[in-house]
Amino acid sequence: MRDTLIDTLALSADADAVSWLRQTLSELSENFEKRPFYYAFSGVSRRFDKSATIQGSDESLFEGWDKYRAARVALLLVLAEQEKETFLETFFAVLNTADIREQIALFSALQWMPHQEELVEPAVDGLRSNIVDIFDAIALNNPFPQKHFTDEAWNQMVLKAIFITRPLYRIHGIADRKNQLLAEAISDLAHERWAAGRVITPEAWRSVSGFLDERHGNDIRKIAESENSDDRSAAALVVSESGNDLEDLRETLAPELAQIDSGELTWHTLGQTMEEKLVRKSLT
């Protein structure tokens, strides 16, 4: 992974910066010392372009990463090779003084770090941040929460993602870790928003599928009648996953169900559509 990151950086980053990073990684690998690591981790900001995303990567995990993040994660992969005491002491020392961009790198790297059971609490704490990019580093395109979060922490993460309109399809395990309490909480949130004349992201209903009771069934019937095509798409996806439940909606949602049968409509494509609309809205 470290070599992949460096090779990807080399495609578009300043050659001197990449050379510095290669040399630093080599020195730390041969003789790791905390102080040089701290200087290097901080020193990334003096050598790489903070506004430029890395280019040419085939790794979806790196999608949208800036060069700061890629370089710092490469350094963290050297830290990950150290003894447990050195690793944990250094990781937490950096985290306790990290600025926003440094936190993003630290949380993005969780999936490749050792002793992950020791890193769950700081990850859960990190989700409380009001900085969206920090939340995204933990919650999106990162398998760490799926593997290590309790149901309570998982549910809180998903609900916050819904609340701040993050793309749920990019949460690892969003289909596998749905549960009854989360389904109930999503219904409660939807009713609160509807009462206030607001909407809830259609992706939210993905975590309700499989836990249909009378209330959830009525929620799906409501969005099936929506003027919003994305709501109807979500309703159809729930119906398609619900066996003989909600049979009364199959005629109403016939066009959307046909799209599901053809493979044109999935939770993934719906999530991509929602994210694209969110990006366009932010640019207007």
Residue from 75, 103, 93, 78 nearest 17 by CA: 75
Model confidence at 63, pLDDT cuts 50, 70, 90, reads confident
Q: pLDDT tens across 127-166, in order?
A: 999 999 999 999 999 999 999 999 999 999 999 999 999 9
pTM for the structure as a whole: 0.94
Mean pLDDT calculated for residue range 96-116 = 97
Mean pLDDT calculated for residue range 184-199 = 96
| Domain spans in the chain, listed from the N-terminal domain onward | 1-148, 150-284
pLDDT of 281 higher than 70: yes
pLDDT of residue 154: 98
Q: What's the residue count for the chain? A: 284
Q: pLDDT tens across 37-58, in order?
A: 999 999 999 999 877 788 765 5
d(CA 116, CA 84): 11
Supply the DSSP symbol for 205. G
Residue type, position 92, single letter: F
Q: At what angle do helices 67-79 and 34-43 cross, to 10 degrees?
A: 170
- 66 forms beta bridges with 53
How many other C-beta atoms are found inside a 10 Å radius of the C-beta of residue 77?
Answer: 19
